[in-house]
Structure 1
Amino acid sequence: METLYHQTTQLIQETSDLFYKLERNPDVVEIENEIQSKINAISANCEKLDVLVFKTPINQRSMAKMRVDQLKYDNKHVQASLQNSRNKRLRREQEKAEREQLLSRRFGHDHTSIDVDYMAQESMSLQNSHRGVDEMLQTGSNILETLKYNRETLKGAHRRMIDLANTLGLSNATISLIERRVAQDKYVLFGGMLVTLTVIVLVIIYLV
């Protein structure tokens, strides 16, 4: 399980590095496809880890489950970031196509051309505002989904922490019992040594 866990963590790091490349080249579809491929690999690994969690010792299972849940959360966050990046790219492509369509039009009179240019600019401004609102709504929706997922994750983590605390409570009781037994054995050892030394001294005094 540890090997697969570290491989998945490495995949998440590699995916984050690809986002830096995507920021410098936002219109490169190949980078988006590579990110999606790694996201799919991470999801497959998380499914395998879910199975392996139940094969770990009971006293380690809670911690292992928390680590796998963190990987799932990171992967969900990466998927949301990729979707936002794709939406922005598609909007840029649409705006570019609309600009080219407007510039390709020909008008017979200068006055008509000026009026149409003004109306085109106004239309573009309204469209940009509309897209900005859509982007904010999409971002808000993604944030709400992330918060909902975090809530469920924290609930699960809280339950596992309680179970882990109960397990540690039993371990502490056992450790305390062992420490008391060690202390008792120490007293017996020192008492035996003292009695032995006393007998030796008495033998030396009375027999020598």
Structure 2
Amino acid sequence: MEGGGGGGTLSEIYQSSRRLLLRARDGLERLERLESSSSSSSASSVGTGMNSSELAFAIKRDISQIQSLCVEMDRLWRSIGARGQRDLWKRKVELVAEEVDSLKESLDKILLRQQKRMLEAKERAELLERANGESSHILRIFDDEAQAMQSARNSSMMLEEAYSTGVAILSSYSVQRDRLKRAQRKALDILNTVGLSNSVLKLIERRHRVDKWIAYAGMVTTVVVFYGFWRWTH
């Protein structure tokens, strides 16, 4: 399966997520067909050269990418000004999120069933080997397949962790940006309310410098007076 990319606008990202949903759904259907025909000799491929482990990993990768796009779309629809358009996009994004959750649940069920069948088949092969000593090659086949399935599950966990990290980073970025915007608006409102012009600010700054020099002069005078008093008394 090829990776799908999202555009910059909400509409482009939405179209990318729909394409990925179609691809993931098609991959699930092929994986289910492969599962139902697992007893045949051609069960190791699904017409694309992929075995079940590779196909499951590709589907999981698409699902994780769709979830990331949902996070981005959720951020973008909130910035739409028109109430009607904002509500419409909110519902569209919710539908995509619900559909990708359903696909993820279906994939997890398939992976669990496959792992269970592998364990059962391995147990049967072990019984046969103990009975006639001629099933060692069968055990090796199932061991290889079980390891491939475990690798797919490990890769899925890594993708989920990466997705969670991405969600946390995007959410933190969105919150910080909203706070900065509110602070900027508040500062502008305060300046507009007070009505301070550049000339008034410069006048205040000059007055501050004058006050500072007066303070310095007072300190110097005090030192001189105390020094003269000390000299006079000694």
Q: TM-score normalized by structure 2?
A: 0.44
Q: Which has the higher contact order (CA 8 A, sep 6+)?
A: 1
More helix per residue: 1 or 2? 1
Q: TM-score normalized by structure 1?
A: 0.49
